[in-house]
Amino acid sequence: MNQILDLLIFLIPIYIANSSPVVLGGGAPLDLDNTLPDGERILGNGKTVRGFVAGTLAGTFAGGLVSLVYLLPFFPSPLIQFTAAFFLSFGTMTGDALGSFMKRRMHVGSGRPFVLDTIMFLIVALVFVVPFASAALYQPLNLLFFLILTLILHPLTNYLANKAGLKSVPW
Ligand code: CTP
Ligand code: MG
């Protein structure tokens, strides 16, 4: 396993991208209100264009700031690390939307808790950054660390966001 600090810093764009739409999202839904033949929305009202764009930008910005001051061992240069921050953030938002797509196909309502909420964004973000990151990132112990941390942090931050009045439900 790599240094825990490096792994935590690596996760910054992912977590910023994933959490900022709760505050910055709203407006037109990504699926433009469209429904599939199964009777369910493509993605639902929980995935908005503004949330998707804001999450991608916020995560990229956070990762950009990090790349100015700290070069992670997984990237050869600050510029590539910055580029990776974009793909991590974009991947996070894509994975989040993909999770909603799968939830709707299984008739799980928007805003209902589901296991995919916790891991889909992480998986897609890690896949999107494959072209930029060294193989060292994908060591099994690192992946296990990401998984366990996310399984703890995601419910915890959702609970706190609910207590702080940012989310109507504690998940
Ligand atoms: N959000 C958004 N746009 C996105 C992602 C999230 O506007 N692309 C906002 C929405 O207000 C959403 C909130 O962030 O309700 C919480 O996001 P999330 O828990 O991912 O969505 P859910 O409402 O739970 O919907 P789903 O069941 O589809 O995951
Ligand atoms: Mg949710």
Any domain includes 156: yes
* pTM recorded for the entire structure: 0.96
Residue 57, pLDDT score: 98
CA of 132 to the centre of ligand 2 (A): 29
Any domain includes 148: yes
Residue 2, pLDDT score: 73
Among all bound ligands, the one having the nearest atom to the CA of 46 is: 1
> Is residue 130 a contact partner of residue 137, using CB atoms and an 8 Å limit?
no
> Is residue 30 a contact partner of residue 47, using CB atoms and an 8 Å limit?
yes
Residues 6+ apart with CB under 8 A from 129: 84, 87, 88, 91, 137
Which residues constitute the domain of residue 107? 2-163
CA distance 98 to 104: 10
Any domain includes 168: no
Any domain includes 171: no
Any domain includes 169: no
Any domain includes 170: no
Any domain includes 21: yes
Tell me how many domains the chain contains: 1
Any domain includes 112: yes
> Is residue 25 a contact partner of residue 17, using CB atoms and an 8 Å limit?
no
- Cβ of 113 closer than 6 Å to ligand 1, yes or no, is no
**pLDDT mean by block of 10 residues, the chain; 171 residues:** 91 97 96 98 98 98 98 98 98 97 96 88 98 97 96 89 88 85
Residue 50, pLDDT score: 98
- Cβ of 103 closer than 6 Å to ligand 1, yes or no, is yes
- Cβ of 95 closer than 6 Å to ligand 1, yes or no, is no
